Amino acid sequence: MSSQNIYILGIESSCDDTAASVIHNGKILSNVIANQKIHEAYGGVVPELASRAHQQNIVPVVDQALKQAGITKEDLHAIAFTRGPGLMGSLLVGTSFAKSLAYGLNIPLIDVNHMQAHILAHFIDEDGFEKPPFPFLGMTISGGHTQIVKVDNYFDMDVIGETIDDAIGEAYDKSGKILGLGYPAGPEIDKRAQLGNPKAFKFTKPKVDGLNFSFSGLKTAILYFIQKEIKSNPNFISEHLNDICASIQYTIIGIVIDKLKLAAKQTGIKHIAIGGGVSANSGIRNALKEGENKFGWTTYVPKFEFTTDNAAMIAIVGYLKYLEGNFAKQDVTASARLKI
């Protein structure tokens, strides 16, 4: 089967981005994403608005993905879609569309776990990017998820650590809100952190046993710190914004690296692959590279466009499942809390 010319359409609609991608034998031919700017005014994703926008976007996004790939829907061998986890209303749009299209074309339907897809994005054929060998540690860091996963094979994964409250992306966004930054705040904090002193202000790292994470306490500590400082100096934030951002980022990166060090020690695995929107953060990427020299790690970071929510990662999982003949039935349903 692997010698055939296999075209898979991937559809992603788990949160606030409508995306479609066509993959041909492991190589991405198109990767189209329609972002939803409407949520910026609310400082976070509004689920009902997200699902409505998906309904408006999904047909033109899929149409554009097929055109950019230079194929028609009749050339497709299967439809892959995000089954979960994510916002239920958003997932329903992608799931319903994928089921209908697969049924109409009489081709296989493939359900994809969004979190597995972030990890398996490393197996997209892309010049200049190496694929991690099994076993490896996969770390997914995004606005909604923070996990460390032991990966023994494409679909043999074990979550060995995860957040017990906020995800890392939420820690950035909530800190940004305290500082009066826009949404999403992660890129702005990252940008300003490069201009500030990371040791200007010290924030205590939450103490969580094992490989699990906690970020809600850090957010509270930052809030109390800012409230205290602006009482004596109302201009404290504007006068020290770069240093505050650098200190917040330094603390968050320290939490991540500490847990990765522990995971590598406990498992004996030194190949570490990261994925998810926060993996685009320059501070985290630099810290991982430093880990190669300090701890003997080999680290893998996907191409930038495959880090945030995208359909290329859904398409690669669809391709790998297609090769195994692992198809879904037409009665498959979306699952907001789908586990790896």
Is 214 marked within a binding site? no
* Segments in the chain forming alpha helices (H): 47-69, 88-105, 114-120, 168-179, 186-193, 216-232, 236-267, 282-295, 312-324
Is 141 marked within a binding site? yes
Asked whether the beta carbons of 185 and 192 are under 8 A apart, the reply is no
Tokens of 15: 């949160």
Q: How far apart are CA 231 and CA 253, in angstroms?
A: 29
Q: How far apart are CA 277 and CA 31, in angstroms?
A: 16
Identify the CA nearest to 68 among candidates 321, 312, 317.
Answer: 312
Q: What does 9-57 look like in DSSP terms, one character per residue?
A: EEEE-SSSEEEEEEEETTEEEEEEEEE-GGGGGGTS--HHHHHHHHHHH
Is 163 marked within a binding site? no
CB atoms within 10 A of CB 167: 23
Q: How far apart are CA 139 and CA 328, in angstroms?
A: 27
Is 143 marked within a binding site? yes
Is 281 marked within a binding site? yes
Q: How far apart are CA 53 and CA 72, in angstroms?
A: 25
Tokens of 69: 């790939």
Is 75 marked within a binding site? no
Is 70 marked within a binding site? no
Is 114 marked within a binding site? yes
Characterise 192 by phi-psi region: left (phi > 0), alpha (psi -120 to 50), beta (else).
Answer: alpha
Is 54 marked within a binding site? no
Is 186 marked within a binding site? yes
Binding-site residues sit at: 114, 118, 140-144, 173, 186, 190, 281, 309
Binding-site residues for substrate sit at: 140-144, 173, 186, 190, 281
Binding-site residues for Fe cation sit at: 114, 118, 309
